[in-house]
Structure 1
Amino acid sequence: MITMKKLIMLSSLCLLFFSCNKKQVKVEETISTETQEIMIPKSNCFASLSDKDSIWLKIEVFPNVATGILKYQLSGKDKNTGTLEGTFEGNKLFANYTFNSEGVESVREVAFIINDDSAIEGFGEMEEVNGKMVFKDKTKIDFSKGIKYHQISCIDNDIQFQIN
């Protein structure tokens, strides 16, 4: 007969034997060394101001796209405030201007020549395509009689570029 001491001793030996044969699993943590770049766009702000009219333009340029805010406050016309999204071809910006006027959202194409200290809005014949007003022929946009904007401080005029 097996005595209680022998049974305890035999059980302890079995436990010791099995615990010694366990393979140790090494857990390695991999730390990602990838860094994410934060894109800070180049911002330019412009305004065309007169006694009765004011137009505000803010452009933020990323590598592949330009975005911004455009706000028209023209005497005798409804106020238009909206966003821009487009691309540059040289120093010419072609963008879709999405705005609200009288509670209706509309989209029309706009064009600007952007220089270091000014912007000039160009105008040309337009047509409706898929519910959006676009230039009929971009090569015929007239910048010579367009609205001229002067560069202003984006920080000092930040309130003008908020969309309500």
Structure 2
Amino acid sequence: MKTFITKLSLSLISISFFFSACNQTTESKKHANWADSSFRSDTTGVDTTHVTTEGCFLGLADVSSKDSTFISLSILDNKVTGKYSWIPFEKDRRTGTLIGTKQGDTLDVVWRFTQEGTQDTLRTVFLLQNDQLKQKPFSINQETGRQFTDDKSAFSISYQKTDCSALQ
């Protein structure tokens, strides 16, 4: 009897995994390369009673919506953590973590990312207002060839808030 119950339990678990896998939305399949649950900010062990903002944002760069950027943020008081993935169509992606501070509506973070197996960092500045996230674009230092955020630039890149659970 014990063996029968164990086999029945394993069968029910297998069936539930099968149905949950079959129930993915078209949008999550479209961006499956970054839409896994590990992408969302890790708040394990964090006192979430002080979390002031938590959300996910999506930016689609071209008309065909094949280039995408996904950002997840957790803001605890004035400390910002999150993840940022820039995924251009048929090009090398940059994925990594964000850590920084919030002053008013401005988020000043360091993006630690990996691209083509190489790790790098890039200061990034966002403006968080209502359900929209805006970013200052990156410029290129002509002497070094490295990207940087020009503080004189306007917040010209926009991301729309999206449901984080749809990306699991």
- The TM-score range, normalised by the shorter chain, is 0.5 to 0.7
Instruction: Report the counterpart of residue 8 of structure 2 in structure 1.
Output: none
Work out the CA distance in 1 between the residues paired with 2:103 and 2:154. Answer: 16
Q: Which runs of 4+ in 1 moved over 4 A?
A: 124-127
2:73 alignment counterpart: 59
2:116 is matched by which residue type in structure 1?
A: E
Task: Name the residue aligned to 2:166.
Answer: 156
> Aligned partners of 1:81 and 1:64: how far apart in 2?
23
Query: What are structure 2's unaligned runs of at least 5 residues?
Result: 1-44
Of 93-102 and 67-76, more deviation after overlay is shown by 67-76
Report the counterpart of residue 56 of structure 2 in structure 1.
45
**CA 1:59–1:38 in 2, change beyond 3 Å: closer, same or farther?**
closer
Name 2:105's counterpart in structure 1.
Answer: 91
Following superposition of structure 1 onto structure 2, how do residues 1-164 of structure 1 map, counting pairs within 5 Å?
39-40=47-48, 41=51, 42-49=53-60, 50=62, 51-123=65-137, 125=139, 134-135=148-149, 138=151, 140-143=152-155, 146-157=156-167, 159=168
Q: Which has the higher helix share?
A: 2
Q: 1:16 aligns to what?
A: none
Shift of 1:115: 1.2
Q: C-alpha offsets along residues 38-78 of structure 1, whole Å, 9 cap, x if unaligned?
A: 51133111101242211101110011310000001113531
Higher deviation after alignment, 113-122 or 44-53:
44-53
Larger Rg: 1
Match of 1:20 in 2: none
Return the letter of the residue paired with 1:150. Answer: Q
Q: What is the CA distance between 1:125 and its match in structure 2? A: 4.3
Q: Which amino acid aligns with 1:44?
A: G
C-alpha distance after superposition, 1:118-161 (max 9, x if no partner): 1111125465xxxx9654x52x1321xx221000111222x4xx
Helix, strand or coil for the counterpart of 1:52?
coil
* Distance in 2, Cα, partners of 1:114 & 1:64: 13
TM-score (norm 2): 0.60
